[in-house]
Structure 1
């Protein structure tokens, strides 16, 4: 799928991102251990999304904020959701999504800004504010409520 950029300060706070960055800057001997713990936390978070992934591998580089995903996804949608789940974690700035999946229809992505609502995003991409539920469903279970999106979050906009 390639490399996607995210806002590093936005997202789920799964681990001490500043701790990993500081250890990397200080060349601490435990940087590999901290990166491993962060990668494991991200992997657990992705697996909780129940996307049907197999052989999921997650590595994290605290110095750059980059996550690399490997393994297999049952669909392009599942691969995209896994990449979004990883990227919408605090301290992650880039996701190199190398998940393999069967060919399908490509989606678009939207970076949420202050004042955005799913209805407004739906109007922008589909020309109909009432199709917000399509976007909400495409981003479940990362979204639990259509009214709870935040600036810096990246959303999947599926083709209709």
Structure 2
């Protein structure tokens, strides 16, 4: 189990979570199902923290569902209690800063700007276009 930090003011405007905390867990779960396709999870939202429990097939699915839940405006933390059927090594997490591009991040992480596609592919389907990232967004770095 882990606790992941996110920028509360950044992220997708998916929820009425702050306005209606009673339905936020359901809204976040629906968002995870839509974005990642992982449905064997339970989601609770309390005071800016999302608690996710359940099962994921792969480590990548687990990390993507954590990011899908955390990269939502109004979410500050994700508490992870998800088990993985096929464990693998964990990816690094990277918080996008102002002026970052996937190429710039790839150069910093891998030494080659041209490796940006590794990051883009690792963050699909949450990223639809490699040119559309924003400060505060958290990305998987395989």
- Shorter chain as denominator, the TM-score bin is over 0.9
Instruction: Return the alpha-carbon distance in structure 1 between the equivalents of residues 95 and 21 of structure 2.
Output: 26
Residue in structure 1 matching 2:44, options 59, 69, 89: 59
Q: CA separation in 2, counterparts of 1:18 and 1:54?
A: 23
The structure carrying a bigger strand percent of its residues is 2
| Maintained 8 Å contact 1:3/1:95 | yes
Q: Is the 8 A contact 1:118 1:136 kept in 2?
A: yes
- What is the deviation of 1:40? 0.8
Cα RMSD between the aligned structures? 1.2
| Paired residues, number | 141
SS of alignment partner, residue 83 of structure 2: coil
The structure that has the greater radius of gyration is 1
Q: Are the counterparts in 2 of residues 36 and 59 from structure 1 also a CA contact under 8 Å?
A: no
State the secondary structure of the residue aligned to 2:35.
coil
Q: Which residue of 1 aligns with 2:106?
A: 122
Unaligned runs of 5+ in 1: 20-33
Unaligned runs of 5+ in 2: none
Match of 1:85 in 2: 68
- Residue correspondence of structure 1 range 98-113 to structure 2 within 5 A: 98-101=81-84, 102-113=86-97
TM-score (norm 2): 0.94
